[in-house]
Amino acid sequence: MAGALGGLVSLPAWANGWTAETVHSPQQILSRSQTDLLAEFVETIIPTTDTPGAKALNVHQFVQKMVADCYPKPSQETLQKGLDSLDGLAKTSFGKPFADGNTAQRTALLTQLSKSSDTAQKDFYSLVKGLTVRGYMTSEYVMTNLTHYQFIPGHYYGCVPVQPKAVSQTK
């Protein structure tokens, strides 16, 4: 009983999907330019179509918050160094920063990262892609408008009618 009451008290804290307001991290591990680049990276992975893309749902903030709060220092450095090298790779590949590339150029560069023999590039891509998909699929918009998730799924309707039975009190 006490556990159930404790669960009800904490329910509002975890019953809602994450929003942009709930993911602001006091520990910022990325510079402003890196954050902007991360926003373009996640938008390339999940672009805006008839539904909002990853950038519109602030998934880049989710990725940064998760890496800052839940991942060890080496993973944080993988993200930072990967973003720094991404712009350099874009300038080498198509002569301009990643954010200025068109969709085909960006997609080709991300495909190159995913198939790279350089483990640092592959780790960076895997980290960001995995967190992007997780952040997008668990965003409030997707959970409520696309998957129609119900936190409490409703009533249980048994298929067998149960009749009351008299119980003997004799020993």
Over the stretch 86-101, which tens digit does the pLDDT of each residue have? 999 999 999 999 999 9
Closest by CA position to 81, among listed 37, 133, 44: 37
| Count of structural domains within the chain | 1
104: pLDDT strictly greater than 60: yes
Tell me if 59 is assigned to some domain. Answer: yes
> How confident is residue 151, by pLDDT bands cut at 50, 70 and 90?
confident
Q: Which of 141, 134, 128, 130 lies closest to 35 in space, CA to CA?
A: 128
> Cβ distance 127 to 78 under 8 Å?
yes
User: Does residue 161 lie in a domain region?
Assistant: no
Question: For residue 120, is it within any domain?
Answer: yes
- 92 and 47 Cβ atoms separated by less than 8 Å: no
Determine the structural domain holding residue 110 and report its residue range.
18-146
> Is residue 5 assigned to a domain?
no
Distance between CA atoms of residues 5 and 49, nearest Å = 43
pLDDT band with cut points at 50, 70 and 90 for residue 26: low
Q: What is the mean pLDDT of residues 15-35?
A: 72
In a domain, 112, yes or no: yes
